[in-house]
């Protein structure tokens, strides 16, 4: 029996805790959240877990792994505590908002040999995975141009904007990760534009709500992303991979499959309006993969270095927006 602990019982921690509890041969032993709430206590009671302090978890030799789904500013410290305790880790992105801290933690994790998986759930979405597998296997022919759209249904509260690290490190980091994952290459240069067109309060908090990025890989593949904090369509999440032999499309997933057609046209349901619904299968697959990593040593699709590289691209895009110039990247580029 594999025993796990979940840190953080907010939006994403609850998803991970429930997915863990549903896995055969796996026990959610602890949940950790310093903020007492009915949600925390009901989650623990409903899943047969104990509410515990971090020290109890890290001192318990029965615990095989921890899931870090607490606020971003706690990730680096908890990750290193878990690595010291030789416990496998699933850590939500980003590891830290401070790039040198991400780089330092990555070095320490890699030196420790403790397996660490990062929460880039799109890699575990069945559609994204199929596209990646067809490209990687050569079925699609050479990937030449990749286009991605990520648009939230509506802007987040400004209180969230202030602590999240902003649109690039928080939201667009998933697209930066996909740029590397789909092309199978590092990005050689990028150019970004970003501004505030939707909510002036987001601008006043120092962030942007509208972003476009153009990237080039070393072998000449082109990547384009458009990101927005408002989507009249709902959670608008699409990808097009233009390859030599075929074009692969990932479209929005409708809230239901009903389509009503008549002489004046057709009506179908709008896209799912929340990332938790859209990526339900991906989050489930992530926990299955986390347990496989612990049980069989199966390498995860997203490791600690993938977090560092995606964040390097987010930092480079911020530099590009600030300077109005493209940024040439190298393996040791730093903001
Ligand atoms: N990969 C994804 O799709 C995805 C989606 C959402 C959030 N996230 C990431 O997950 C993290 C959590 O986001 P959220 O939206 O669930 O936040 P949230 O605010 O809904 O929940 C965070 C929870 O952590 C608790 N907490 C605070 N300090 C803690 C500590 N030291 N130890 C344990 N728990 C602590 C809070 O009380 C709260 O219950 C963030 O880093 C975010 O970037 C990733």
Residues 68-104 pLDDT 10s: 999 999 999 999 999 999 999 999 999 999 999 999 9
Report how far apart the first and last C-alpha atoms of the chain are (Å, whole number). Answer: 44
Q: Report the separation in Å between the CA atom of 271 and the middle of ligand 1, taken as the mean of its atom positions.
A: 25
pLDDT of residue 204 exceeding 90? yes
Q: What pLDDT was estimated at residue 278?
A: 93
Q: What pLDDT was estimated at residue 72?
A: 93
* 2, 25 Cβ separation under 8 angstroms: yes
Q: Report the separation in Å between the CA atom of 108 and the middle of ligand 1, taken as the mean of its atom positions.
A: 23
Q: Helices 304-323 & 173-183, crossing angle to 10 degrees?
A: 110
- What number is the average pLDDT over the span 55-75? 97
- What number is the average pLDDT over the span 24-47? 97
- What number is the average pLDDT over the span 123-139? 98
Share of the chain above pLDDT 70, in %: 100
Q: Domain 123-278+309-328: give its CATH code.
A: 3.30.360.10
Q: What whole-number distance in Å separates Cα of residue 183 and Cα of residue 195?
A: 27
Tell me if domain 2-114 and domain 123-278+309-328 are identical in fold: no
70 lines ligand 1 (CB under 6 A): yes
Tell me, what DSSP letter sits at residue 123? G
pLDDT of residue 274 exceeding 90? no
- What number is the average pLDDT over the span 294-323? 98
Instruction: Give the domain ranges of the chain.
Output: 2-114, 123-278+309-328
| pTM over 0.85, yes/no | yes
Q: What share of the chain is helix, strand, coil (3-state, %, to 5)?
A: 40, 25, 35
User: If you search the block for the tokens 């109005």, which residue do you land on?
Assistant: 324
* Topology of domain 2-114, CATH: Rossmann fold (3.40.50)
11 lines ligand 1 (CB under 6 A): yes
9 lines ligand 1 (CB under 6 A): yes
* 189, 221 Cβ separation under 8 angstroms: no
Nearest ligand 1 atom to alpha carbon 72? 41
* Coil vs helix vs strand at 29: strand
Nearest ligand 1 atom to alpha carbon 70? 24
């Amino acid at each position: 029996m594999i025993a796990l602990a979940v840190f953080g019982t907010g939006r994403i921690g609850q998803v991970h805790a429930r997915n863990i509890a549903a896995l055969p041969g796996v026990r959610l032993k602890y949940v950790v959240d310093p903020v007492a709430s009915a949600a925390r206590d009901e989650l623990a009671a409903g899943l047969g877990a104990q509410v515990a302090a971090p020290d109890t978890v890290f001192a318990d030799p029965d615990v095989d792994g921890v899931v870090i789904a607490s606020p971003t500013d706690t990730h680096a410290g908890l990750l290193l505590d878990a690595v010291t305790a030789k416990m496998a880790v699933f850590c939500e992105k980003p590891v830290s908002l401070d790039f040198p801290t991400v780089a330092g933690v990555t070095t320490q994790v890699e030196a420790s040999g403790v397996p660490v998986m990062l929460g880039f759930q799109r890699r575990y979405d069945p559609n994204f995975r199929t596209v990646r597998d067809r490209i990687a296997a050569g079925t699609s022919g050479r990937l030449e141009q990749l286009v991605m759209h990520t648009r939230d249904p509506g802007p987040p509260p400004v209180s969230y904007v202030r602590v999240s690290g902003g649109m690039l490190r928080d939201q667009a980091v998933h697209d930066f990760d996909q740029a590397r994952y789909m092309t199978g290459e590092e990005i050689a240069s990028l150019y970004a534009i970003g501004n505030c067109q939707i909510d002036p309060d987001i601008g006043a908090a120092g962030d942007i709500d509208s972003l476009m990025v153009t990237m080039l890989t070393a072998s000449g593949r082109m990547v384009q992303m458009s990101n927005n904090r408002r989507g009249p369509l709902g959670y608008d999440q699409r990808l097009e991979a233009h390859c030599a032999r075929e074009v692969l499309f990932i479209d929005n997933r409708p809230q239901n499959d009903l389509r009503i057609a008549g002489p004046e046209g057709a009506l179908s349901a709008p896209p799912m309006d929340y990332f938790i619904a859209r990526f339900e299968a991906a989050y489930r697959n992530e926990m299955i993969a986390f347990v496989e990593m612990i049980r069989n040593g199966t390498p995860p699709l997203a490791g600690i270095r993938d977090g560092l590289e995606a964040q390097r691209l987010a930092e480079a895009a911020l530099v590009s927006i600030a300077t109005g110039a493209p940024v040439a990247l190298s393996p040791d580029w730093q903001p």
